[in-house]
Amino acid sequence: MKTIIQSLIAFVSMFAMPMAMAMAESATLKAGDCVQIELKAPAEDAALFEGNYTISESGMVKVAKLNHAISAAGLSTSELSRKIESAYRAANIYKDPKIIVSVPEPTDIAARVVNVGA
């Protein structure tokens, strides 16, 4: 019985992670969403992009070195990546940028009540 349960857990795990990643990739971004934007190339400017960005109420996101915000609402993370890359090329800022946009995992920051005493 234990072997069957372990096999079943392994089987489900093989499909659950790729499905969760695909869902995150295809999720449509909206105003108020937090996204993580990473610049992979050129590496010397990667530090400018570290951190999370919030999509504004108007559906825009402002990234380093661009004079204008990028429309993000309604796009998937991969679509937003390509759109930011195109904006950098069009502005002649980077010749061949590599941008990765992801949705950070939510963290549990709920308050915890701990009673100490007798």
Tell me if the domain spanning 26-102 has CATH number 3.30.1950.10: yes
pLDDT-derived band at 118 (thresholds 50, 70, 90) equals: low
Domain coordinates in residue numbering, the chain:
26-102
- Rounded mean pLDDT, 71-79: 96
Percentage with pLDDT > 90 across the chain: 53
Enter the pTM of the model: 0.68
Q: What is the C-alpha to C-alpha distance for residues 38 and 8, in angstroms, rounded to an integer?
A: 36
